[in-house]
Chains A and B, each alone.
Chain A
């Protein structure tokens, strides 16, 4: 009998089939061990969910920095769509600055395309300095910029000298790479090269961490910070949700990096490890069990008995607080099945949270993950660079002569790993998936629709572009990028919110009306026999 994967692939033409078969796997049902192809070009016309390099750089990584004035250099659209649409929440710091509700763009016109946009960009910087007086300006380039050859880097250097502020330009034109992922990388490079390490504000306590790859969607970072603070762990900076240029400057003085979204920020984690000797742990604060495990890993890493004890106290107290609610929603959700299509990390993270409620994830997919996000970092050496990935700059860093400090010897690191601390490594999503489960890379609209119709999970967690078609197919649907304007979903409080929202989606009163009564009653008034 053919698998669901094969039945789907058979609907494609030969060329598309050849491409897509590498990107879809049904766990342990293939002829070869489970692997997947990822981070390669999308098939044109297939209706991918992917965005572009600019979306990854501005939209994901640098946009959330609250005290940075981000100028989108290009025509108006890209700036417009990345304005107020991602729910990366931020609260102004002591300087009172919060650029998150603002959208600044050079709004290029035909003459700028013909004669170059450098003059307009220079003016825009001058105006932003005059109006907002920011400490840091970032310039994010959109497609035409690279094509017309505006030297954004030179403009940034000139502006820095002129105004005595930090100005960072990103050549993150939309056509670079194959997805948002290239933009993450470019953004990581800029933050590492120009910001991290320029400050000298020391952490106040000995258990200090940065949270990397946490964008504070629906206040997730604030829930994580709340828990960490209770445990006595100091958060130096969050990359980048509610994060700031000011705090990021001294992020290298933290003791440990916690990585949430491996895909979007592993570059910084690795570079800080090389340059400053800061280890990173792959944590997951999505899910109750996962949050407890992550906290315990942090405790083990620092190895301080008092801290470990305090973490256990906090866990016990938090679990007690949410126990009734969790039990309530677990009763409603247990035995259901789910599908998750997300960007590059949530499809893994949310499987753990769904597990807390007894929900099994039968389909999981990513828009822009790389093979290591599916299969674990051990296979990184097997990944061959291609024409697209080679175009994205890889920066190399050296150990800092003054600031490099190895926290643990290789032997001690190995010992920590044996105790279950996921240190400087990540095992990927697939190792936790079961036989028969479907994994899809660079999922598209057709595949989403087919899997919904054929696999029929009870609930599907995906993005806005899929949400309404999934609902129209009669399947409960929640947005897992934006949480449908709810949240937080992280940590202990978040788990309860998630359970509540999942229950709401599955048990909406309106589901009972999808079929009208006259569709369900046989029409007895019809004539019998005769011609029919």
Chain B
């Protein structure tokens, strides 16, 4: 496996090999799928849309619907106005969504299609809405595409004159449906009426009923989004994914806003809980105190099996940063922490975190890099565990290292999206999975005389 990857690292300026990111439009598409009765629309060649729907379908094991402007060579020369007009009409006629969320592609961006003005000239049926986000694939990564669609939603849907509604708006960032449910549960436990944007609960994990509908019951409702400015506070999760949307909200509505890391592990979940507590002024219920206590208990009980273990964490910046925090809490050494997303801020944040644990000199932190580089690092100094998406499995096999899957995309395992990694419950789940991987490896590698029945 990956036999042609040499240990010797040469600086590359032309080739990205085995990427650790994908392009902006899929992020916009995923974000839009968290809006109730929303059809994401890809303005470009139809291949983009097919690829994005496929990767989402493979990750969630769910239908991922989206339409395309189906550019031909002609449209690429003369512009995609007529393709967009025809698309919007057909989408409302055939699929009847409440809202169409258009995003661009490298094709429509390169030819300079002015989607904004196309939409202004468009006849949109009563009660229906079309929004648009610019997502040129050659910028940022899928994470930036998600962020751009967030900003588009706020800019184009949130009403400037919203009525105060005492709800707390929560931007969950790029998380799973199971995480959305857990974030809402924690908020409710603390007396907060949460409004998640987007909310993938019951959109990308719809129950089996025997009858398929295009749109699940989940997703943030349009009236809720319109009134988001009236929320009493905003918690934006994920320093990279949610920062732009959060600062836009502050600018537009002057909401009390907190930008927090994804609540993974004890410390980051504590931050989320404290923020909710501040918003509602409620006491932390015993139920939640107990959950936290159990997770701390688990960390202490199991630390002999995690302490000093080296882990390579890779994937999207916010989840990798948050998982790094969890691994540090478990006493592990995050030897390599990388993302493909070109955001320097990821490095600053992560180095800061490592500094707190006195591990600055031992670890490599890098944004805007790829899995080929990670593999080369591992070839030079190996790790005990890989933590990241499915594409790391090639390295895991090549170097015989156990892997725990998390992040996006996980194409080769089931049930992940249904369950949380956030909160104390999600933390307990992650600790269990990491322990299982490390301890199974210890069992596998131990000689008969060293084989332990009790661990």
Most B CB contacts (10 A, CB to CB) among A45, A120, A452 go to A45
Q: Given A106-B14, A106-B16, does the pair A55, B105 have CB atoms closer than 8 Å?
A: no
Q: Does B416 contact A (CB under 8 A)?
A: no
Residue A332 at the B interface, CB < 8 A?
A: no
Name which of A174-182, A260-268, A426-434, A499-507 contacts chain B.
A174-182
- A residues 129-151 near B (Cβ < 8 Å) are 130-132, 142-144, 146-148
For residue A178, which residues in chain B have a CB less than 8 angstroms away from its CB? 72
CB pairs A–B below 8 angstroms (6 shown): A44-B69, A105-B15, A144-B138, A180-B47, A472-B208, A472-B210
Complex alpha-carbon distance, A79 and B138, angstroms: 12
Q: B17, A103: Cβ atoms under 8 Å?
A: yes
- CB pair B70–A77 under 8 Å, yes or no, is no
- The reply to whether B86 and A45 contact each other, CB–CB distance below 8 Å, is yes
Candidates B23, B46, B63; contact of A51 at CB < 8 Å: B46
A22 in contact (CB, < 8 A): no
0 or 1 for each of A451-494: is its CB under 8 Å from B? (1 = yes): 01000000000011111111111100000000000000000000
Q: How far is the CB of A9 from chain B (nearest CB, A)?
A: 12
Point out the residues of chain B lying under 8 angstroms from A146, CB to CB.
Answer: 76
Instruction: Please tell me if B2 contacts chain A, counting CB pairs below 8 Å.
Output: yes
A101–B10 alpha-carbon span in the complex (Å): 20
Q: For chain B, residues 41 to 91, give those with C-beta under 8 angstroms from any C-beta of chain A.
A: 41, 44-48, 50-55, 57-58, 61-76, 83-84, 86-91
B106 within 8 A of partner (CB): yes
Which chain A residues lie closer than 8 Å to B71 at the CB level? 174-175
Q: State whether A44 and B106 are in contact (beta carbons under 8 Å apart), knowing that A52-B46, A474-B211 are contacts in the complex.
A: no
Is A108 close to B, CB under 8 A? yes
CB nearest neighbor in B for A134: B4
> What is the count of residue pairs linking A and B with beta-carbon distances less than 8 angstroms?
272
- Determine how close the nearest CB of chain A comes to the CB of B97; give it in whole angstroms: 11
Binds B, one of A92-100, A208-216, A370-378: A92-100
CA distance A124 to B16 in the complex (A): 8
Measured CB to CB, the residues of B under 8 A from A are: 1-4, 6, 10, 12-19, 21-26, 41, 44-48, 50-55, 57-58, 61-76, 83-84, 86-91, 93-95, 105-107, 110-111, 136-139, 141, 206, 208-212, 214, 340, 342, 372, 391, 394, 411
CB distance from A465 to the nearest CB of B (A): 5
Q: Which of A44, A143, A179, A449 is B87 in contact with, Cβ under 8 Å?
A: A44
Whole-angstrom CA separation of A310 from B67 in the bound complex: 53
CB-CB under 8 A from A177, the residues of chain B are: 72-73
A63 to chain B, nearest CB (A): 14
Besides A464-B58, A472-B208, 19 more A-B contacts (Cβ < 8 Å) are A16-B93, A42-B70, A43-B86, A47-B66, A55-B51, A77-B51, A81-B52, A103-B19, A104-B16, A112-B138, A113-B138, A127-B15, A131-B4, A131-B6, A143-B44, A174-B71, A466-B63, A473-B212, A474-B211
Select B14's contact among A121, A388, A452, beta carbons within 8 Å.
A121
Q: Would you call A54 an interface residue if the criterion is a C-beta within 8 Å of the partner chain's C-beta atoms?
A: yes
Are B110 and A147 closer than 8 Å at their CB atoms? Answer: yes
Chain B residues with Cβ under 8 A from A102's Cβ? 2, 4, 17-18, 372
Query: How far is B100's CA from A47's CA once the two chains are assembled, in angstroms?
Result: 13
- Least CB distance from B213 to A in Å reads 8
The answer, yes or no, to whether A32 is at the interface (CB within 8 Å) is no
**Which of B15, B44, B210 touches A106 (beta carbons < 8 Å)?**
B15
- In the bound complex, how far is the Cα of B18 from the Cα of A46, in angstroms? 33
Are A51 and B47 in contact, CB atoms less than 8 angstroms apart?
yes
Contact A473 B86 (CB under 8 A): no
**Contact A110-B90, Cβ < 8 Å, known A104-B17, A147-B111, A174-B47:** no
B137 touching A76 by the CB < 8 A rule?
Answer: yes
